[in-house]
Amino acid sequence: MILRNATGGVIFAAYRKLFHCNDALEAELHAILEGIKLTIEHSNPIIMVQSDCAVALKAISDDSLDRSAYGHMIQEIKFLLTDRVFVPVKVSRDQNRVADCLANFGWCEDSTTCCLGQPPPCASDLAVEDCNSVILE
């Protein structure tokens, strides 16, 4: 998971092993939830979530109650987004390589890594290349 400021600078980047994770959707929702929690701590009124998982973005954008196995996480994400401007942005996997790299390290390593102000060394080059600019209207 990588958290950026409005100019694309890295605020926080992290990976961790999810010991009980059923599929990619659950992993994506965990990353989004953790990212939103960290964003709220920085008091950003606009939260833009860039993800290559259209299903996750649709689930957290939808106003209906999600009764899936991940409904509790989706509900928590929606609650955290209350009174904030939420901008879901679907990006391609090619535009999301740093998050993919961090997820792979989290899956392979039995550790947690958190870096403030910069990505972990394993993703430093990708963090610069993957900075996707989005214009809010």
Query: Quick check: 98 and 51 in contact, CB under 8 A?
Result: no
Position 132 scores a pLDDT of 57
Position 123 scores a pLDDT of 75
Low-confidence ranges of the chain (pLDDT < 70): 43-44, 105, 107, 128, 130-137
Position 69 scores a pLDDT of 92
The CATH architecture to which 2-129 belongs is: 2-Layer Sandwich (3.30)
Task: Report the distance separating Cα 108 and Cα 101, nearest Å.
Answer: 11
Helix and strand totals (H; E) in the chain: 5, 5
User: 92: which 2 tokens?
Assistant: 């391609």
User: pLDDT tens for residues 65-74?
Assistant: 889 999 999 9
Query: Quick check: 122 and 23 in contact, CB under 8 A?
Result: no
Tell me, rounded to whole angstroms, the distance of Cα 15 from its chain centroid. Answer: 11
Position 98 scores a pLDDT of 75
Task: Report the distance separating Cα 62 and Cα 88, nearest Å.
Answer: 11
Position 95 scores a pLDDT of 76
